[in-house]
A and B are shown apart, each in its own frame.
Chain A
Amino acid sequence: MKALLQKELRLAMHPAALLFLGLSALLIIPNYPYYVTFFYTTLGIFFICLNGRETQDVLYSALLPVAKKDIVTARVLVAVGLQLLQMVIAVPFAVLRQRLIPTGNQVGMDANIALFGISLLLLGVFNWVFFTKYYRNVQKVGMPFNIACAVYFVLLCVAETAAHVVPFVRDKLDTPDPQFLAEKLVVLAVGAALYALLTLGACRRAQSLFKKQDL
């Protein structure tokens, strides 16, 4: 697995995927749909898979002395690494946003703990939809990404709308930290757990689909 991860970083990684990590800084914009911030890593993952098709990365990997399922695991681990790294990089910007600009985000959710929890859930759903469709046919990257994006944006719209119209979200979750800390920590924990479950499920399903695929 170590060799596969090294190969992912040396040969398969798309530079844009790393540049997008810097977009965590979007959290210091005073008014912005902050859920969009975490969308950029999904775009990075799409670029890696698209680039992989053009460079025949999947075929090269399949010819190496590794199990086919490990090729999928390595790619999913890279995606998880990018997504979690973006979260970590975003933390100081969320703190800065709250300290420097006391007024809440007028567009939607504040840059707070609950935002991270719900974003993890959105990324988990993206991983499930994208990887289980992409590994059906690795030659087709665009359609799985389009579908996964559409699902991501529908959920994003629901989450942002909830911050305006659902009383629990509006009054408790869409508030500066550390107000309603317990509720927000529960959202973070549930979001993280669902992210882990969805991503693990996506990985297993993708392994099974990829194993059957003719290259």
Chain B
Amino acid sequence: MQDVLTVQGLCKQYEGFALRDVSFTLRPGAITGLIGRNGAGKSTTLKSLLNLVHPDSGDISFFGQPFLGHEQQAKQQLSFVMGGFTYYPMKKLKTITAATRPFYTNWDEEVYRRCIQRFALPEQKTPRQLSDGMRVKYALALALSHHAKLLILDEPTSGLDPVSRDELMELFLALVQEEGVTILFSTHITTDLEKCADDILYIKNGELVAQTGMTQFLEEYRMVSFTTPQPPAQAAEKLVGCRPSRTGCEALVHTANLPIDGAEVQKAGLEDIMVHMERA
């Protein structure tokens, strides 16, 4: 099956920051999480996909067609949401929808009505009157109404409470299963991804350091803890991002480097992996 998105050698140089040779693909019907700490290059990567930020080099293809030269066709089939729906905070949702509808050749009013009901969106209200979670849902309603096959979301769960985040993850899963959409979303809240992501893209200092399946990524690492303040000297070079803990010290270790004498080994969560890799 054709990849939904292919990115090859994406580079963008800023003063003090560079996106270096970012390449990845998105499988159809998968939820892919783009993780990395603040300032790692997540938003720059996502904005570069749609040429909102002009990359210095790199090739981007949506649905098998290069984005440059087929920009409008690609945008008909995807939706890009930055944060929640933060546009036109004083306009009623129905006014925004009425202004948005004519742009999409595949607009499906029936689907839109269904989304409005499903997400309990009050059309008479303005984005400013909606909660953060409802704003994301409104953005999703607009995306689904033009049958977007790919949803790109930049930090959609930022600022949401745990219950709203959980609801949103459940919704993402439902959208993939029911509508067959592909989702790429960036976040630094790694627990969200553990609930729903199939694949992981991990970006660090502008470089993609991991592109793999979620399960495989988690299986690649383990957490090891020691009861001493410093790890044994012979183990030190196998450890990633060693840090003090309440009972001694702990670090991340690649499963290929196990076993380690005197270490208590536990499964590593996405947050553990990210935190320790960022310390390395």
Question: What is the interface of chain A, defined by CB distance below 8 A to chain B?
Answer: 2-3, 6-7, 10-11, 55-57, 59-60, 62-67, 212, 214-215
In the assembled complex, 27 residue pairs joining A and B whose CB atoms fall closer than 8 Å, in A order, are: A2-B102, A3-B102, A3-B103, A6-B99, A6-B102, A7-B99, A10-B91, A11-B88, A11-B96, A55-B87, A55-B89, A56-B86, A56-B88, A59-B87, A60-B88, A62-B50, A63-B50, A64-B103, A65-B72, A65-B73, A65-B75, A65-B103, A66-B72, A66-B103, A67-B71, A214-B47, A215-B53
Contacting residues of chain B (52-89) with chain A, CB-CB under 8 angstroms = 52-54, 71-73, 75-76, 80, 82, 86-89
From B73, B91, B96, B99, name the one whose CB has the most chain A CB atoms within 10 angstroms.
B99
The verdict on B98 contacting chain A, using a C-beta distance below 8 Å, is yes
Q: A11-B95, A56-B88, A59-B82 are in contact. List 14 more A-B contacts (CB 8 A).
A: A11-B88, A55-B88, A55-B89, A55-B90, A56-B87, A59-B87, A65-B71, A65-B72, A65-B73, A65-B103, A66-B72, A67-B71, A214-B53, A215-B47
- Chain A's closest residue to B79 (CB) is A63
CA distance A59 to B71 in the complex (A): 15
CA distance A73 to B76 in the complex (A): 21
CA distance A214 to B80 in the complex (A): 16
- Chain A's closest residue to B85 (CB) is A60
CA distance A115 to B95 in the complex (A): 39
Task: Name B52's contact: one of A2, A66, A67, A214 (CB within 8 Å).
Answer: A214
CA distance A162 to B238 in the complex (A): 84
The verdict on B216 contacting chain A, using a C-beta distance below 8 Å, is no
* CB of B232, distance to nearest CB on chain A (Å): 49
Contact residues in B for A214 (Cβ distance below 8 Å) = 47, 52-54
With A6-B102, A11-B95: A63-B53 Cβ-Cβ less than 8 Å? no
Count of B residues near A, CB < 8 Å? 26
Contact residues in A for B95 (Cβ distance below 8 Å) = 10-11
Contact residues in A for B119 (Cβ distance below 8 Å) = none
CA distance A6 to B102 in the complex (A): 9
CA distance A63 to B75 in the complex (A): 7
CA distance A59 to B90 in the complex (A): 16
- Chain A's closest residue to B44 (CB) is A214
- Chain A's closest residue to B48 (CB) is A214
Contacting residues of chain B (29-50) with chain A, CB-CB under 8 angstroms = 47, 50
CB–CB B52/A11 < 8 A: no
With A10-B98, A11-B95, A215-B53: A57-B103 Cβ-Cβ less than 8 Å? no
From B87, B89, B98, name the one whose CB has the most chain A CB atoms within 10 angstroms.
B87
Contact residues in A for B53 (Cβ distance below 8 Å) = 214-215
CB–CB B71/A215 < 8 A: no
From A59, A67, A214, name the one whose CB has the most chain B CB atoms within 10 angstroms.
A214
CB–CB A63/B80 < 8 A: yes
Contact residues in A for B90 (Cβ distance below 8 Å) = 55
Contact residues in B for A67 (Cβ distance below 8 Å) = 71-72
Contact residues in A for B72 (Cβ distance below 8 Å) = 65-67
Contact residues in A for B96 (Cβ distance below 8 Å) = 11
With A65-B75, A214-B52: A57-B87 Cβ-Cβ less than 8 Å? yes
Contact residues in A for B104 (Cβ distance below 8 Å) = 65
Contact residues in B for A60 (Cβ distance below 8 Å) = 87-88
Contact residues in B for A212 (Cβ distance below 8 Å) = 54
CA distance A211 to B100 in the complex (A): 22
- Chain A's closest residue to B89 (CB) is A55
Contact residues in B for A55 (Cβ distance below 8 Å) = 87-91
- Chain B's closest residue to A60 (CB) is B87
CB–CB B71/A64 < 8 A: no
- Chain A's closest residue to B91 (CB) is A11
CA distance A11 to B89 in the complex (A): 10
Contact residues in B for A62 (Cβ distance below 8 Å) = 50, 52
* CB of B38, distance to nearest CB on chain A (Å): 19
CA distance A55 to B95 in the complex (A): 14
CB–CB B82/A64 < 8 A: no
Contact residues in B for A56 (Cβ distance below 8 Å) = 86-88
CB–CB A59/B103 < 8 A: no
* CB of A30, distance to nearest CB on chain B (Å): 40
- Chain A's closest residue to B81 (CB) is A63
